[in-house]
């Protein structure tokens, strides 16, 4: 989701079927959203609790 200026909105997260698919809109098989949903949900949780993201010092 972007604001009126086309910038990401800080603190706004989407995971699973609500986020842009890393598969580029293709649905190759059932359950394909589970891995990305868990991964990006975990990263959103880290950001929300103020923990450093993987790769950050």
Q: Which tens digit of pLDDT belongs to each residue from 12-44?
A: 887 666 667 767 777 788 777 788 888 888 888
Domain boundaries, the chain: 1-22+32-49
| Structure confidence at residue 41 (pLDDT) | 84
Tell me what pLDDT residue 57 has: 59
Q: What is the 3-state secondary structure (H, E, C) of the chain?
A: CECCCCCECCCCCCCHHHCCCCCCCCCCCCCCCHHHHHHHHHHHHHHHCCCCCCCCC
């Amino acid at each position: 989701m972007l604001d009126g200026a086309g910038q990401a909105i800080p603190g706004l997260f989407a995971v699973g079927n609500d986020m842009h698919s890393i598969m580029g809109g293709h649905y190759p098989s059932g359950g394909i959203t589970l891995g990305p949903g868990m991964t990006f949900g975990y990263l959103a949780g880290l950001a929300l609790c103020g923990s450093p993201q993987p790769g950050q010092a």
